[in-house]
A and B are shown apart, each in its own frame.
Chain A
Amino acid sequence: MSVHDLSHGLATVSLATAEHAGGTSAVHATQAGGVASAGWLLVALPLLGAAVLLLGGRTTDRWGPALATGLSWASFGVGVAIIAQLTGLAPEERSLTVPLWDWVSVGDLSLSAGLLLDPLSLAFVMLITFVGSLIHVYSLGYMADDPDKRRFFAYLNLFVAAMLILVLADSYLLLFVGWEGVGLASYLLIGFWNYNPDYAAAANKAFVVNRVGDVGLITAMAIMLATFGALDFATVHGNAGGAGDLTLTLIGLALLLGACGKSAQFPLQSWLGDAMAGPTPVSALIHAATMVTAGVYLIARSQAIYDLTPDARLVVAVVGAITLLYGAFVGCAKDDIKKALAASTMSQIGYMMLAVGLGPVGYLYAIFHLVTHGFFKANMFLGAGSVMHAMGNRVDMRRFGALRADIKITWLTFMAGWLAIIGVPFTAGWYSKDFIIETAFAEPGWRGWVFGGVALLGAGITAFYMSRLFFMTFFGKARWHEDAHPHESPLLMTVPMMVLALGSLVLGAVLYPTGIITGWLEPVFGHAEHGEPLIPVLAIQILAFVLLLAGAGLAWVMYVRSDVPRTAPHGSALTRAARRDFYQDDVNEALFTSPTMTLARTSVEADSVLVEGTVTGGTTGGLNGLSRVLRRTQNGFVRSYALTMLLGVVAILGAVWVMQ
């Protein structure tokens, strides 16, 4: 296979069509042997950790966190061994199945549980276990003084296990176990400090909004079962061509609803900002690097369906484009460092969604960006955690400033993430994001201009808001609270940050020009190249760079050259709207929460009338009469009951006798 380096303008016209849907079905999965046959260990190791820590009680307090960290690394080790085994196979044979057990078999339905080890799932395994293990290490430092540290690590391990089930499942049904499993872990970790009522509410919100998305996934599975009689990827994807257009479009849209919930995409994005209530390592792992990208995974995995339904795919791209801008605007207005990063995550996942919505050419770049984003965003979240550590757990960037002198390592590692996300040439983010912009411009007609334009504009805004965040925190004048004594974090925390910082800088250069990422993922997605962009690739790159300079420059003028007010100024209408997430909560409140509560209240009132009414025998005629009769016997209901029974039996016997 060839390395197609788009940045050198080698793009050839090859309109992606349904042929590429063969990408998944052309590779025939075979049953795994060797290390891969023990692929279930990937999940079992962290799951064991969670079980030991949760059931072991206080006896595991001392060594539990270390065990959890070790098991997470062990899972990474198994993943590496399986990848080594896979690279020994011909590219088209790199798809192994690990059958597990016969799970649900009813009638013609046979839903068994099994794992699929292919380049796509293993790319995720690497991201999840490597970044996940680093974050375990970081948490050893970050959570050192928390009395519930053991429970925290148990949940982290639970999350890793669930996330691995999600990406390794060989069917939509088992994927759904992981899907809700990560939702559960996310809920538990957002609400980890749920003695704060707001945090408990944030956890509930995340779970419930995700459940809205899950209805989409359940519906998609119901349609698949009615159409194909199966839920395993092989059967569904292999037979997708036989289904009607409408069916495929509905499946595509229902899956997208699920993806929107998990990946905080418009219109189900409202929970992610609140999810920052969780401890910062959680934000880094779950709400930036891994779980929230599961929606992108779902759509990439369902490539065979989306390739056949351009309508649903267009909706995917539109959702991605909207969220991309939405997150970027919100990111410009937030003063809470974690919420600004959360908005940025939304926006970056918007890029990935846009990319998967562009079809076969986009899948690869979406996954590439997902991986690089996993590194640089996790890096910045851990950096933010280190900043909070230094500043007494404060998050208001208006009370930061000039921190680069006191927490040098945090500053430098954060800078690596910042350079990557704004897309400075040759950093990881530059490689992955620029490809998405170019691919968007290669769409025919208005779509090219709209999607390309949005992606480009988004890059400029990203440069602004991320620079704003970076400058407000590390540059300018110190605007600290009087009791702030910034100090660098311990090595347990800074070493993972350094590793991720290195990844933020070089991962793109390591994976792309060498052909590693394309060669690895091509057996899954098939080989596809985008058409000639509407404007030359070089022009796009230059434009992107100019916008980067403009965005970062504007931030420099506003937040370094000028003083940053310690309290947020009133701001324009747009700023105020963005600060309130464009009134997403108010809209949800008006459309969903409030009607639900009204309905609940009304039903309770109506029902208590019904309950109390019938109990006192005041309403329905028959019961009323009966109860009066019973009351008249007054010498206890026991006797009334016996009497009634007796009368009943006599009546029957009499009736039967008469009939005979």
Chain B
Amino acid sequence: MSFPWLTTLLVLPLVGALVVSLLPKGSALVRPVALGTALLTLAVGIGTATQFRVGGGAGGERFQLTEVYSWIPQFGVSYALGVDGISLSMILLGLVLVPICIVAAWDDVPAVGRRQHAYFALMLALTSMMVGVFAAIDVFLFYVFFEAMLIPVYFLIGVFGGSRRARAATSFLLYSLAGGLVMLVAVIGVYLAGPRGTDGFLLSNLTGLDLSVEAGRWLFVGFFIAFAIKAPMWPVHTWLPLAAEQARPATSVLLVGVLDKVGTYGMIRFCLTLFPEASQWATPVILALALVSLFVGAFLAIGQTDMLRLISYTSISHFGFIVLGIFAFTTVSQTGATLYMVNHGFTTAGLFLVAGMLIVRRGSRDLRDFGGWQRVTPLVAGALFVSGMSGLALPGLNSFVSEFLVIVGTFGRHPWLGVISAIGVILAAVYILVMYQKVATGPRPTGPDVEDVRDMSGREKWVVAPIIAAFLVLGFYPKPVLDLLEPAVQQTLQTVGISDPAPAVDTAANHSTEGSDH
């Protein structure tokens, strides 16, 4: 038996969380242990990645590093973990962002009582849930993680958030629960339609079922609603702005940057894989919703005065791009969409965490309280600008590659949708530049508010540097990630049964005729 890499990734942060919460009151070790655990998990994550064979396992199986054990055989539930390129990249994204978030959240909670213990233990517990939800290849196990990860997020927002934290946490929980319950029905439904038995919930046992058209569509809708809420897509996005506004920026990064990807990930993994016919049936509506999300999210971002809300609305717009790419069903668009899921994690991290640095300094989230900060904290303002450039998909930075692939990939199937989505890049320029303009430009502010404000600290540099490095590496050399994602995407498209549109002009043939002319 090979080393249980994925279980290790799942257990390590939980152990860390336990250790952190058992530390004595006032211990100075809380944060170092938390960070150490996160870094150790990341190291194991990198180890896991080296075990992964790009382009498919030895036997061409879809999932690698699998661990399958019977869990509740009476109900067909297995403890089954495994990853393909998409889930592995999401796990790695999460594992990279967690230590960054811990460093960013270093001073979020004072070391009074056990609050700091709880804060960091919850973050580690969340890490574990994150690994589980992306690695589960048993549909019921996925559901368990899908619901279980709500708990740490609920407390992170509800206990450590801003003044309206209770309301924000409730709204988040209600929405997620509602989606989760709908999905639960579908989860049971698909099980019942499958072979059942002691491992009836295994994804592999539920793929390629001969469902009736109607059943397939109902089940698809059940899953899709939950994922649309999670993503979130318009019009079920309304929990996000409040949650992002009230949560600590580090929480928001993990929530919006990683956990929300469960929505788009779930669409690919479950909606498309389990219900290929229904996926194609629902495509027109979903493409329309994706475009609406893209534009409404952008307009909402343009109109915001709350920095954190603004960033959460840009995410809704970006999720519109991602869903568009998934449901355009071309290798290019879907690889672009999955790459976007990775890139968006870094972009969001940059925006939320740097905004957090500004908010701590100014004591306000309101853009109208800023102005001229390029001359108060040039480095923080510069980091905001670079993150913003990533947000508007400047070529050379990470998001560009994915956004471009989504647009041109979509164009290959639906030319008009491709062109319309391209208009989104103008709106992205507007919301990012207007935000930067309000925060950073204008005369240098004076008065007691800004006199003692210091520019970026050493700790904050450690937060920003890896994020900007990721922008550049993924912008200029996305190849390793693309190589990881593409085989998984092609397998998904194969399952759905859709092939890519071919170029109108056969360039290879043209070369040969050109040669014969001479």
Contact = CB atoms under 8 A, between A and B. Distances in A.
Nearest to B393: A180
A222 B330 CA distance: 13
Nearest to A619: B238
Contacts of A660: 74, 196
B177 A626 contact: yes
A122 B193 CA distance: 67
A623 B503 contact: no
Contacts of B418: 219, 222
A108 interface: yes
A279 to B, nearest CB: 16
A242 B375 CA distance: 55
B395 A180 contact: yes
Contacts of A226: 408, 411-412, 415, 501, 503-504
A81 interface: no
B170 A627 contact: yes
Interface stretch (B20-28, B52-60, B79-87, B424-432): B424-432
Interface stretch (B9-17, B41-49, B106-114, B433-441): B433-441
Secondary structure of the A contact surface, majority rule: helix
B415 A655 contact: no
Interface in B433-453: 433-434, 437, 440-444
Given A180-B395, A191-B441, A226-B412, A596 B336 contact: no
Contacts of B427: 596
A626 B188 contact: no
Contact of B303 (A197, A228, A604): A604
Contacts of A610: 235, 238
B394 A180 contact: yes
Interface in B313-356: 330-332, 335-336
B224 interface: no
B299 A194 contact: no
Contact of A626 (B75, B150, B178): B178
A230 B187 CA distance: 43
Given A238-B514, A243-B505, A648-B181, A218 B303 contact: no
A30 interface: no
Interface stretch (B117-125, B206-214, B251-259, B472-480): B472-480
Interface in A215-269: 215, 218-219, 221-223, 225-230, 235, 238-239, 241-244, 247
Contacts of B408: 218, 221-222, 225-226
A637 interface: yes
A104 B405 contact: yes
Among B147, B303, B396, B486, the most chain A Cβ lie within 10 Å of the Cβ of B303
A196 to B, nearest CB: 8
A604 B241 CA distance: 11
B154 A641 contact: yes
A659 B404 CA distance: 48
B407 interface: yes
B500 A107 contact: yes
Given A652-B188, A659-B192, A601 B303 contact: yes
A660 B75 CA distance: 9
A215 B425 contact: yes
B50 interface: no
Contact of A208 (B151, B192, B433): B433
Interface stretch (A199-207, A368-376, A380-388, A393-401): A199-207
Given A104-B401, A104-B482, A108-B500, A239 B505 contact: yes
A546 interface: no
A261 B500 CA distance: 33
A228 B505 contact: yes
A103 B478 CA distance: 7
A589 to B, nearest CB: 14
A79 interface: no
B171 interface: yes
A107 B491 CA distance: 12
A630 to B, nearest CB: 7
A16 interface: no
A176 interface: yes
A610 to B, nearest CB: 5
B336 A106 contact: yes
A602 B419 CA distance: 25
A208 B374 CA distance: 21
B461 to A, nearest CB: 11
B154 A207 contact: no
A626 B174 contact: yes
Interface string B366-395: 000000101100000000000001000011
Contacts of B433: 187, 203-204, 207-208
A586 B232 CA distance: 37
Nearest to B432: A207
Interface string B496-514: 0000111111110011001
Contact of B411 (A208, A223, A597, A623): A223
Contact of B510 (A173, A218, A242): A242
Nearest to B200: A656
B405 A106 contact: yes
Contacts of B486: 106-107
B158 A637 contact: yes
Interface string A578-602: 0000000000000000001101110
A659 B195 CA distance: 12
B282 to A, nearest CB: 21
A599 B299 contact: yes
A197 B503 CA distance: 48
A37 interface: no
B430 A105 contact: no
Given A604-B300, A630-B174, A102 B500 contact: no
Among A614, A653, A656, the most chain B Cβ lie within 10 Å of the Cβ of A656
Contacts of A92: none
B443 A106 contact: no
Contact of A641 (B168, B177, B235): B177
Contact of B302 (A109, A195, A211, A600): A600
A184 interface: yes
B75 A653 contact: yes
B227 interface: no
Interface in B186-218: 187-188, 191-192, 196
Contact of A204 (B303, B331, B434, B511): B434
A247 B429 CA distance: 29
Contact of A105 (B184, B422, B437, B479): B479
A644 interface: yes
Given A201-B437, A222-B419, A603-B303, A184 B389 contact: yes
A554 interface: no
B238 A197 contact: no
Interface in B441-496: 441-444, 476-479, 482, 486, 490
A614 B173 CA distance: 12
Nearest to B197: A660
A181 interface: yes
B241 A611 contact: yes
Contact of A109 (B332, B396, B490, B510): B332
B270 interface: no
Contact of B503 (A102, A219, A227, A617): A227
The 3 closest A-B pairs by CB, nearest first: A229-B503, A600-B303, A200-B441
15 contacts: A25-B514, A103-B479, A177-B395, A207-B433, A208-B430, A219-B419, A222-B407, A222-B415, A247-B504, A614-B171, A615-B170, A641-B177, A644-B177, A651-B184, A656-B188
Given A104-B478, A597-B302, 9 more contacts: A104-B401, A194-B437, A226-B501, A228-B504, A247-B504, A600-B300, A603-B299, A652-B75, A660-B196
Interface of A: 25, 101-109, 173, 176-177, 179-181, 184, 187, 191, 194-197, 200-201, 203-204, 207-208, 211-212, 214-215, 218-219, 221-223, 225-230, 235, 238-239, 241-244, 247, 596-597, 599-601, 603-604, 607, 610-611, 614-615, 617, 622-623, 626-627, 630, 637-638, 641, 644-645, 648, 651-653, 655-657, 659-660
